[in-house]
Amino acid sequence: MPREWTLPLTITTPLSMNDRSHWRIKAKHVKAVREAAAKAADDADIPELAAFTVELHYAPRDKRRRDPENLIATLKPFVDGLIDAGVAPDDCPPYYRTTVPVIDPPGRVRGHLYAIVRELPVDPGAQYPVQDDGATDDPWTHVPSALNARVRARQVDP
C-alpha cells in the first residue's frame, strides 16, 4: 500500500502565475516556498522514494473564484524543495508525476496551504525510463531509446 504524508506550509499566500512582481521579490518568495517544503519533508522524515506525486491544497480566506492552475507557481518550488530534501533524485518522469492543485473551501485561517505527498508504485514501463548504459558523457541518456536513435540519425545524416 502506498504511503502518504501531509505537509503543512507556513506560507499563507501562494505564488500565482499571474504575479507580475519584480524578479528579486519573486525569487525571495520562491526561495521561501522551496525552503519550507524541504523543512517540512525533513520534519516528516520522508524517505527517498522511487516515484511520488504531490497534491497541493489551498484554502483561501474568502469565497472568490480561484483558478487552480495558478497554484502551479507554488507547486513547482514546493517539489524542488522536496528534491532538495532528498525525497527523490529528480522531479522529472519517472520519479514525479504532476497533479493539478486543489482549491479547498475557504477556511477560518487567513490562507492555508498544505500538500499531500504520495508514494507511487514503481512503473517498469514509465514514460521516460532512465537508461543506465554506463555512458555518463552521453547527453541523450535521459531520452527514450527510440527517440535517442532518431535524434542521433538526424545528427549523422544531414
pLDDT of res. 41: 96
Domain ranges of the chain: 4-126, 128-158
Average pLDDT, the chain: 80
Amino acid at 53: T
Peptide bond just before 158 cis, omega within 30 deg: no
Indicate the residue type of 65: R
Mean pLDDT of 122-128: 57
pLDDT in tens, 98-110: 999 999 888 766 6
* pLDDT per residue as tens digits for the range 57-88: 998 888 888 888 889 999 999 999 999 999 99
Distance CA(126)–CA(95), nearest Å, equals 9
End-to-end CA distance of the chain: 51
Q: Which three cell numbers stand for residue 37?
A: 517544503
Full-model pTM? 0.74
Output the CATH code of domain 4-126. 3.30.1330
Take residue 79 and report the three cell numbers written for it: 517539489
Give the model's pLDDT for residue 118. Answer: 95
3 state DSSP class of 5? strand
Contact predicate 53/96, CB 8 Å: yes
pLDDT beyond 60 at 52: yes
Alpha-carbon torsion, ordered 44, 25, 27, 49, to 10 deg:
20
